Amino acid sequence: MGDEKVKEEAMQIMGLFQVLPRLVVFDLDYTLWPFYCECRSKREMPRLYPHAKGILYALKEKGIDVAVASRSPTADIAKTFVEKLEIKSMLVAQEIFSSWTHKTDHFQRIHKRTGIPFKAMLFFDDEDRNIEAVSNMGVTSILVGNGVNLKAFRQGLTEFSQNAGSSSNSKQ
């Protein structure tokens, strides 16, 4: 499936939901791309998972902000790849640094930079411990098994809208 077709399907999926996140945050290694960038050379031309670009295009068209949060020990390689893949201009925040915490500090920084509440964020990552730590902050967090794809995207939006529903009910 080409990027345009994926984008179209992602747009249709978003159309199914009344509540959407204001910001979607992606991990890099094994979430947006199928490798650890620390094992690669900056000179290489990286590739994304097949659905990643189409989903990013759809979010942009829908006016939903996008950010990345990565604990890569080689931030220089990760940032070079983000530029080479032409996604840098689509990002409102790019937090790439190694850390002992499981991305809670990445999300604090993203929140400071964007002003967007954790409850309005959706996060995709391939590591359990990041998912657990970040969901404890109030971010809807989705574990991906084989990179981000339309199935994970739909699951993320479903869980996001369920969380949004339950938090508004509890306020009443």
Judged by CB, which is closer to Mg ion: 9, or 27? 27
Closest-CA residue to 70 (of 45, 43, 40, 93): 93
DSSP lists the bridge partners of residue 125 as: 143
Site for Mg ion in 126-145 (CB under 5 A): 126
Cα 148 to Cα 49: distance, rounded to the nearest angstrom:
7
State the minimum distance, in angstroms, from the CB of residue 25 to Mg ion. Answer: 12
**Which residues are within 8 A (CB) of 14 and not within 5 positions of it... i.e. 6 or more apart?**
20, 58, 62, 157
Stretch that binds Mg ion, among 21-29, 88-96, 98-106, 149-157 (CB under 5 A): 21-29
9 belongs to the binding site for Mg ion (CB under 5 A): no
Answer yes or no: are the C-beta atoms of 156 and 124 closer than 8 Å: yes
124 near Mg ion, judged by CB under 5 A: no
Residue with Cβ nearer Mg ion (95 or 126):
126
What residue has token string 């850390």? 99
Helices and strands: H and E segment counts in the chain: 6, 5
Q: Among the candidate windows 77-85, 98-106, 122-130, 146-154, which touches Mg ion by CB under 5 A? A: 122-130
Q: Does 27 bind Mg ion (CB under 5 A)?
A: yes
Verify binding: residue 29, Mg ion, rule CB under 5 A.
yes
Choose, from 27, 65, 125, 126, the residue flagged as catalytic: 27
> Which of these segments, 47-55, 73-81, 124-132, 147-155, binds Mg ion (CB under 5 A)?
124-132
Is 125 a catalytic site residue? no
User: Could you give the angle at the alpha carbon of 95 between the alpha carbons of 68 and 85, nearest 5°?
Assistant: 45
State the residues that interact with Mg ion by CB under 5 A. Answer: 27, 29-30, 126
Catalytic residues: 27, 29
